[in-house]
Amino acid sequence: MSLDAVLSRIDSDLPGATERLMELLRIPSISTDSDYAAKCEEAADWLVADLQSIGVKAEKRPTPGHPMVIGHVEGDGPHILFYGHYDVQPVDPLELWDRDPFDPEVQETPKGKVIRGRGASDDKGQLMTFVEACRAWQAENGKLPCRITFFFEGEEESGSPSLVPFMKENAEELKADLALICDTGLFGEETPGIITMLRGLLGEELTITGPEKDLHSGMYGGIAMNPIRVLSKIIASLHDATGRCTIPGFYDGVPELSEEMLDQWNNLGFDPKEFLGAVGLGVPAGEQAYTPLEMIWSRPTCEVNGIWGGYTGRGFKTVLPSKASAKISFRLVGQQDPFKIRENFREYVQSMLPADCTVEFKGHGNSQAGQMETGDPAFEAARTALSDEWPQPAAYVGCGGSIPIAGYFKSILGMDAMLIGFGKDDDQIHSPNEKYDLSSFHKGIRSWARVLDALTKA
Q: Quick one: which of 221, 287, 293, 219 has its CA closest to 263?
A: 293
Which part of the chain has CATH 3.40.630.10? Answer: 3-198+369-457
pLDDT tens, 117-162? 999 999 999 999 999 999 999 999 999 999 999 999 999 999 899 9
Instruction: Please state the rounded mean pLDDT for residues 11-32.
Output: 98
Which part of the chain has CATH 3.30.70.360? Answer: 200-256+269-367
What's the chain's average pLDDT?
96
Looking at domain 200-256+269-367, which CATH architecture does it have? 2-Layer Sandwich (3.30)
pLDDT tens, 305-364? 999 999 999 999 999 999 999 999 999 999 999 999 999 999 999 999 999 999 999 999
pLDDT tens, 365-409? 888 888 888 889 999 999 999 999 999 999 999 988 878 899 899
pLDDT tens, 69-120? 999 999 999 999 999 999 999 999 999 999 999 999 999 999 999 999 999 9
Instruction: Please state the rounded mean pLDDT for residues 427-434.
Output: 96
Instruction: Please state the rounded mean pLDDT for residues 63-67.
Output: 98
Q: Are strands 193-198 and 417-420 parallel, antiparallel or unpaired?
A: antiparallel
Q: Sorting pLDDT into bands at 50, 70 and 90, what band is 1?
A: low
pTM value is: 0.86
The fold for domain 3-198+369-457 equals Aminopeptidase (3.40.630)
